[in-house]
Amino acid sequence: MTTAVSTFSMSAVRSSPAGAYAVILTRNDIDRHKHNETFARELTKAFSSLGVQLLSLDYIRDIRQISEAMRDDNCQFFVCFNGFGSELVHASGTPGKLVSAFELWRKPLFDLMHDCPVHETMQHQFNSVGQFRKALFTDYSYAHLSRMLGARSVRTVPSITFPEAVPAKTKPLAIRSFEILLPVGLCDPQVVIDRFRSPVSYRDRLFRELFDSVTAIAVDDLTVDPLTQTLIACQDGNIAVDLRNPDIRFLISAVLDYVKFARRDRLVRALSGLPVTIVSDRDVSHRFSGSKLTFVQHRSFPELIDTMGDSKIVLCPLPHYTGFHERALAGFTAGAAIFAAPNEVLETNFWQGRDMLTYGNPEHLASLLDSALSGQLDLQAMASNGERIARERFSPDRLASIIVSQWEDMAR
């Protein structure tokens, strides 16, 4: 499906010819939560404010239009999310050889990356390392890993808030329906362990020992970054870390997934005596029977932002340590008070206790929530401050300006 938006203004972008435009690549069949659709909507508005016309194309269904855009001199650049679209290839003219379509047609691709580039789910973008793919990471550590994979153009950028997804004026906390909202994907950690086969070699035993050792430390200590700890463990064991090696990628993926799910499981159990509403992509209510928890139906990202706008407190057990996460920024945008796990970016940009709160462990969070429910915390002031800071510092306009600036620099 093709969506045309906004108009082009010559006064806004100096180096563009008349009729110039850019393309945002989406893929609706895998965007079941509508994350990319939401990001595309925000960036469409932001680029429009800079005078850039955007076309939104599904790179699976609209491949003919994309091929035409590649050949069109008026198409200035492409934007995609988490590498989806970066894998497009084209016949090179040499029998049996395919090359990146962006390299062949010399079209910049600004790839907004949120997730770990060496995780198994990111396999599709492993070989997208050419000079025309501009990898824009919202996580400093992930940017470094991308460079280690051979990506030639990597930058760290701020993520965005979602002003187009909320009313112009957010609802006061006093009239919101949900006291505490926990939007989180829940999965039994055992699913990750079950991926390990019975060891048949010394290497199998060694990798299982690394997994057990790192997760034993990281699950209970929220200040431990499981990614960093895995690399340290390999270094300590004198194990070469080849990020393109399937075993290393499996180890990193398994550690990250297990720690994420185990921490969330422990968090939910610690909050079982509090009036917490949980939005999850799986029905796990049977695992927490007899608690005060309320489980509500899973919803898309735009619907989740609406729910955040009707919640007083939004809990964010973030899996990233050195980068942004859309749930926290969505909660800020919706005017909720944010209680988050340790995160370098949030702790650097938001004043603890004034703009948001960071909890040290699940028991600490439960204590903070008890204080909030008893009226000891000024949640409205915290929510208002957090919303103001987030909108000022992480506007979609800022990211759009960075992309346009880089594109203009390439065009000189």
CATH of residue 369's domain is: 3.40.50.2000
Handedness of CA 390, 396, 401, 404 (dihedral sign): positive
Long-range contacts of 389-392 (CB under 8 A, 24+ apart): 389/332, 389/349, 389/350, 389/351, 389/355, 390/161, 390/329, 390/332, 390/333, 390/350, 391/161, 391/163, 391/332, 391/333
* Nearest CA-CA partner of 228 in 245, 258, 252: 252
Give yes or no: residues 364 and 305 share one domain: yes
Return the axis-axis angle of helices 362-373 and 246-270, rounded to nearest 10°.
Answer: 40
| Mean pLDDT value of segment 102-111 | 96
CA–CA gap between residue 165 and residue 162 (Å, rounded): 6
Give the residue numbers spanning the domain of 224: 164-393
Q: Taking 50 as the threshold, does the pLDDT of residue 250 lie above it?
A: yes
Q: Taking 90 as the threshold, does the pLDDT of residue 232 lie above it?
A: yes
* Residue-level pLDDT at 170: 93
* Residue-level pLDDT at 198: 87
CATH of residue 80's domain is: 3.40.50.10090
Give yes or no: residues 269 and 191 share one domain: yes
CA–CA gap between residue 133 and residue 142 (Å, rounded): 16
CA–CA gap between residue 174 and residue 171 (Å, rounded): 8
Give yes or no: residues 168 and 151 share one domain: no
Give yes or no: residues 372 and 225 share one domain: yes
Give yes or no: residues 299 and 235 share one domain: yes
Give yes or no: residues 346 and 374 share one domain: yes
| Mean pLDDT value of segment 73-97 | 92
Give me the half-sphere count of Cα atoms (radius 13 Å) on the Cβ side of residue 78. Answer: 34
- Going by C-beta distance under 8 Å and a sequence separation of 6 or more, which residues neighbour residue 86? 80, 100, 102, 109, 111, 124, 125, 128, 133
Beta strands 98-100 and 89-91 are antiparallel
Amino acid identity at 215: T
Give yes or no: residues 169 and 90 share one domain: no
Q: Taking 70 as the threshold, does the pLDDT of residue 13 lie above it?
A: no
Give yes or no: residues 38 and 175 share one domain: no
* Nearest CA-CA partner of 86 in 74, 78, 94, 97: 78
Are residues 204 and 343 in contact, defined by beta-carbon separation less than 8 angstroms?
no
| Count of domains for the chain | 2
Q: State the chain's mean pLDDT as an integer.
A: 92
* Residue-level pLDDT at 304: 97
pTM: 0.91
Q: Taking 50 as the threshold, does the pLDDT of residue 11 lie above it?
A: no
**Three-point CA angle 49, 333, 269, nearest 5°:** 150
| Mean pLDDT value of segment 49-68 | 94
Give yes or no: residues 132 and 249 share one domain: no
Give yes or no: residues 134 and 253 share one domain: no
| Residue 283: how many other CB atoms lie within 10 Å | 11
The encoded tokens of residue 65 equal 């239009």
Give yes or no: residues 113 and 216 share one domain: no
163-195, pLDDT tens digit by residue? 999 998 999 999 999 999 999 988 899 999 999
Give yes or no: residues 156 and 169 share one domain: no
Among 147-151, 283-287, 338-342, the range scoring the smallest mean pLDDT is 283-287
